[in-house]
Amino acid sequence: MNWAQVVRALILFVLLSPFAQAGQITLSVDDISSPAFHAKAISATLDGPDFSHFEARIGELSLRDRTWRKVRLTCVKTQWNNGVIRCDQGELDLGEKLPVRFVYQQQSKTLALTLDFPRGETWQLSAQWDKPGWNVRVEARNGQVARLAGFLPQGGIRPTAGTWSGSISLDGGHTGVGNVTVDAVFKELAFADTSGLHAGEKIAGGVRCDASRREGGWIWRGEVDWKSGEAFWQPLYFADGRHRFAGQGSLEADWLRLSQGSLRLAGVGEAQLSGAWDRAGRGLTDFDLKAAGLDVAGLYPTLLKPFLEKTAFAKLQAKGGADLAWRYRDGVTTDFDLSLRAAEFVDEDQRFALHGVNAHIPWSNKEERQAELSLQSGEVLRLALGETRVPLTMRGWQFGAPDFSVPLLDGRLNIDGFTASRNDGDWQWRFSGGLAPVSMERFSAALKLPLMQGTLAGIIPAVSYVGGNLKVDGALLFKVFDGTAVVKDLSLHEPFGRVPRLSATLDMRNLDLDLLTSAFSFGNMQGRIDVSVAGLELSDWRPVQFDAKVASSPGNYPKKISQKAVQSISSLGGVGAAAAIQRSFLSFFEQFGYERIGLSCALRNGVCLMDGVEPAPHGYVIVKGGGIPAISVIGYNHQVSWDELLERLKRVTQKNVKPVIQ
């Protein structure tokens, strides 16, 4: 039995039933079913004067996923007149007792029902079901959205607070719903899923949407105006509103399509969208996006940063302008065209910075394309980069660049044969090149080292980056302090990771001690030295292990050591000869001759195991005297904590600080 039949039966009972004379009519129905609802154990009673007292009971009423039990509708002043049933003062008991008014007109088959809640909340249901069609309209004023929660699918997003005003209309025929129209505004809306990963609070805005059934599905058109309020949609967070979406598309058995859409995000910009979502399980398969004039300062924190938390780009200050066109087909990006204008990316951990970035990257996964990148200035690991332009050839995820150079401090880093590729989501790249002279003054100042003189220049053999490891094949050759430096077996693991790890072997020959010692205000020394550092390992840019050795270079050259240098060396070795100088006639001399110098340090577990050119009673010789006046410096501490040694070095190399003689 359907609902209309029940109502018709009631009216017939009132008008015709012989029981009417007895002053009471009772009707019982076991079950009523329709596609929209299901009701069981229904009974209706009419009694009182002119049958004005009406009471209906439903044992169980189900509407979509929501079920009420012991539903009761009573009306003490029911009016029956020419096929019209009117109740101006009724009560609906849905667990919560609600004032209700309704009018039913049998002729036109219309029902108008109004529920009045406290605090000005009103819900109105009007329905009309005459052949060939029917319509239902729900209107609300300050309606609590939480009342709709029970009508939504389990496990999804549910409204938890807030109100709405507006209307929802459905109409259709015997085949089902034909049109749906929604026009609603929200205040203080809150919603959430059970995990809390998709939620919104205090949202104000409006939704307008209409959908019509067509052969094979629905076509729809909608607008969402999010005026204020916050929302978290893992991993994105929108602190405030002023966002807007408008679009139209279709809904088919397995597909939700957006044929044309426009999304405006406050602080970011506006984008034109279209796409297709496979409801059968593949998710987003096709997507097109075009956006011009995006603000990188808003784009980065809102949409990019949350996806970059585990990368070197997780903490950037970004600004500039961007245009983007993105084409995605069958689950694969086929084209994108990114332009950056006057952009800046500055790492908050000061590992790198790029200023004045302009780029045009028209990428395709099938065709070869040319990209152009340029920056006005930058910085990598505190080393300043100058204006650079890089033309790039792209063949899918294979990138290549002709030889180009990057100004580095006052020199130039020449990069030859740069190639990069992306495999299984991981980038790898390689290049070779050279370093045109960089002044040691600029280099040492940039790295906050004591000012050094000379130049840094060299050849860079093949450098490759694979799986987070940067590796230099062959040897890096540099000219420093009028000598040569060779860096071999250089590899750098996760250079921008949490704990960068470097390993290398360093071999320096024929360094001019005069230049070296003047750089460190160590006390003047003249001569030449060789420095070798084998098995060097740095972790987080600090040494963990090495075998270092400093020794006089072979050959004939003047060998002089100043009194201050003697004191500095003595300080490094602990108790030394400095005190002896001060106590003896040697203090009259500013400089001494020496035959050779040698000092070694094997760093293990934070301790430097020290040795010199040869053993000495209770120690080792660091400077072996020679010539007139000559002096030998003896070290007595074979084991010195690395931190303590650094502290001593710091003390003796700082200007205007007197060496500490122990």
**Residues binding another protein (CB under 8 A):** 192, 194-197, 199-201, 230-232, 234-237, 239, 306, 309-310, 314, 497-499, 501, 539-540, 542-544, 606
Residue 226 or residue 481: which is nearer to another protein going by CB?
Answer: 226
Write the DSSP symbol of residue 573.
H
Q: For Cα atoms 92, 93, 97, give the angle at the middle one, nearest 5 degrees.
A: 90
How many other C-beta atoms lie within 10 A of the C-beta of residue 570? 27
Task: Compute the least distance from the CB of residue 521 to another protein, in Å.
Answer: 26
> Across the chain, how many H-helices and E-strands are there?
7, 45
Pairwise CA distance, residues 164 & 205, whole Å: 10
Residue 315 or residue 422: which is nearer to another protein going by CB?
Answer: 315
Cβ neighbours of residue 554 closer than 8 Å, sequence gap 6 or more: none
- Backbone angles phi and psi of 317, in degrees to 5: -100, 120
Pairwise CA distance, residues 369 & 393, whole Å: 6
Residue 238 or residue 363: which is nearer to another protein going by CB?
Answer: 238
Task: Compute the least distance from the CB of residue 234 to another protein, in Å.
Answer: 8
E strand map for 296-410: 316-329, 332-347, 352-364, 368-375, 377-380, 383-385, 388-395, 398-401, 404-408
Integer-rounded Cα Rg, in Å, for the chain is: 42
Task: Compute the least distance from the CB of residue 649 to another protein, in Å.
Answer: 16
Residue 121 or residue 537: which is nearer to another protein going by CB?
Answer: 537
> Quick check: helix, strand or coil at residue 645?
helix
Where does residue 585 rank: exposed (0-12), middle (13-18), buried (19+ CB within 10 A)? exposed
Task: Compute the least distance from the CB of residue 310 to another protein, in Å.
Answer: 6
Residue 311 or residue 556: which is nearer to another protein going by CB?
Answer: 311
Residue 18 or residue 196: which is nearer to another protein going by CB?
Answer: 196
Task: Compute the least distance from the CB of residue 237 to another protein, in Å.
Answer: 4
Nearest to 346 by CA among 380, 323, 392, 304: 380
> What are the percentages of helix, strand and coil residues in the chain, rounded to 5?
15, 65, 25
Pairwise CA distance, residues 454 & 443, whole Å: 10
- Backbone angles phi and psi of 643, in degrees to 5: -65, -40
Residue 240 or residue 323: which is nearer to another protein going by CB?
Answer: 240
Residue 428 or residue 545: which is nearer to another protein going by CB?
Answer: 545
- Backbone angles phi and psi of 200, in degrees to 5: -140, 155
Residue 156 or residue 606: which is nearer to another protein going by CB?
Answer: 606
Residue 232 or residue 429: which is nearer to another protein going by CB?
Answer: 232
Task: Compute the least distance from the CB of residue 153 to another protein, in Å.
Answer: 19
Task: Compute the least distance from the CB of residue 542 to another protein, in Å.
Answer: 4
Task: Compute the least distance from the CB of residue 200 to another protein, in Å.
Answer: 8
171 neighbors 157 (Cβ within 8 angstroms): no
